[in-house]
Amino acid sequence: MDKPTVLLVAGSAELGSSESLLLDYLLSSGEKFFNPIIIFPAEGPLTALFSQSGLETLIIPGKDYLTDFHQLWKQPLAWIYNLSSFVKMRRVIRSRRVRLVISLSFINWTGALSARQEGIPHIWMIREDLSAPKSYLKFFWGEWLASRLANDLSVKILLESSWVAKMFSRKRTRDKAEVLPPAIDADRFLGRLNESSSAILSLERNLAVFINDFDKKRIELIIKSVLQALKNDSKKEKALTKLFISFPGIEKNRIKQLGDNLEFMAAEAHLNSEIFLMDFSDFYFQPNIWKKFMAAVIIPGFDPLSRLVLEAGLAAVPLVIEDGAASELIIPEQTSLVFSSGNFQELTTKLRLLLTDENYCRLLGLAARRHLTQSHSLKDWAARWEKIIRDFIF
């Protein structure tokens, strides 16, 4: 008997914790009981990873159905543009006799709408924090209507954390919603982490900062808080060598605008350390880049950046992370540090704890590796995920 075909619809070709998790799963040992087809809305680093891995990958151009407030005008244009994507995806469903559609992000509705139109089941894997105070949805539908539409267009809603699940706690949606925490293939990641690459191995005391936020004023407050933590280094301490800042999920032209202000902010803070903008895609193709860093700061925003938390932990790089969905992946004060949302003075204080005590930093990192290896294994995740999928295929 032929294996059933399952369509996996990516939200982005640039950023995707769910996409990275599914790649781990599809490349893991053991024969899969279905044939996967992965659809991306554009070319990008994730598209290349899937293609290079020998997985069937299609590009059906599409625009994000949701945007931040400053690009609100793009939303109705996206719906019009995506009519073509909708037609093409329905054509794939029919020609390949797809039995199930799984959307890997809430910003892409084409898979859900196509599955509904073709009369086949649809599962939504939602990683985004839809209940965030500054959620995109405040400017689009509103939480109530968004959760209702997600419920009506799905047979199952899989959520990364209890934090993300808040929006689906109403009676109408909670029966379909289930929390399935993310996982990572520790063996595969550690194998790639330990690949030799003289270009990136370093004993320097570098710091990585990941900011997934669209609010320019908030970004400046975050960076100033980080610079303040670095500025306070006494002459007796080893100076931090380099500060690397990445803006995952933000368009490249906007990143350049943000980057133009970094050197000025560093000079204003009288910081001697060098500052660099970091290409987020490097972490897909060269995971051993984590070896450059003694610690990292993660500001999750709308996307919790859960994959970064998992990878940093396995790389034994301790984090200072803003509380929210991603902070459920760590044990506060034992594997990484958490600061209250919007409290950037606390960010400065917590970051100082790591930068001034290398032994404490190292102990947290090793504890993070142990915790993630034991509590977020791909094998356990796959067993639960496959049981859910089988219920709607057979």
Contacts of 120 (CB under 8 A, 6+ apart): 93, 98, 99, 100, 101
**pTM more than 0.85:** yes
pLDDT of 205 reads: 78
- Average pLDDT for residues 179-201, to the nearest whole number? 80
The two three-digit tokens of residue 338, written as one number: 């958490």
- Asked if the model's pLDDT at residue 313 lies above 60, the reply is yes
Three-state DSSP class for 242? Answer: strand
Neighbours of 17 (CB within 10 A): 26
Burial class (CB in 10 A: 0-12, 13-18, 19+), 200: middle
pLDDT of 146 reads: 81
- Average pLDDT for residues 74-93, to the nearest whole number? 94
pLDDT band at 83, cuts 50/70/90?
very high
* CA atoms of 260 and 292, how far apart (whole Å): 24
**Where do the domains of the chain lie?**
5-183+377-393, 187-375
- Alpha-carbon separation of residue 43 from 15, 47, 210 (angstroms): 12, 6, 23
**Structure-model confidence comparison of residues 38 and 249, the more confident one:** 38
Q: Tell me, yes or no, if the two domains 5-183+377-393 and 187-375 fold the same way.
A: yes
To which residue do tokens 């390949």 refer? Answer: 96
* CA atoms of 94 and 97, how far apart (whole Å): 5
To which residue do tokens 């719906």 refer? Answer: 79
- Average pLDDT for residues 100-124, to the nearest whole number? 96
- Asked if the model's pLDDT at residue 131 lies above 90, the reply is no
pLDDT of 39 reads: 98
Neighbours of 99 (CB within 10 A): 18
Structural contact between residues 286 and 197, judged by C-beta atoms closer than 8 angstroms: yes
Three-state DSSP class for 157? Answer: strand
Q: Which of 146, 178, 145, 113 is nearest to 389 (CA)?
A: 178
* CA atoms of 372 and 391, how far apart (whole Å): 28
| Long-range Cβ pairs for the range 135-141 (8 Å, 24+) | 135/302, 136/66, 136/67, 136/68, 136/69, 136/107, 136/302, 137/66, 138/69, 139/69, 139/72, 140/66, 140/72, 140/75
- Asked if the model's pLDDT at residue 171 lies above 70, the reply is yes
pLDDT of 81 reads: 94
Annotation: CATH topology of 187-375: Rossmann fold (3.40.50)
pLDDT of 22 reads: 97
- Average pLDDT for residues 176-183, to the nearest whole number? 95
- Asked if the model's pLDDT at residue 339 lies above 70, the reply is yes
- Asked if the model's pLDDT at residue 375 lies above 50, the reply is yes
- Asked if the model's pLDDT at residue 133 lies above 50, the reply is yes
pLDDT of 260 reads: 63
CATH superfamily membership of 5-183+377-393: Glycogen Phosphorylase B; (3.40.50.2000)
**Structure-model confidence comparison of residues 363 and 254, the more confident one:** 363
pLDDT of 267 reads: 58
For the residues of 78-94, what is the DSSP string, one character each? Answer: HHHHHHHHHHHHHHHHH
Average pLDDT score, the chain: 87
Q: What are the tens digits of pLDDT across the range 275-297?
A: 888 888 889 988 989 998 999 99
- Asked if the model's pLDDT at residue 271 lies above 70, the reply is no
- Asked if the model's pLDDT at residue 208 lies above 90, the reply is yes
pLDDT of 1 reads: 63
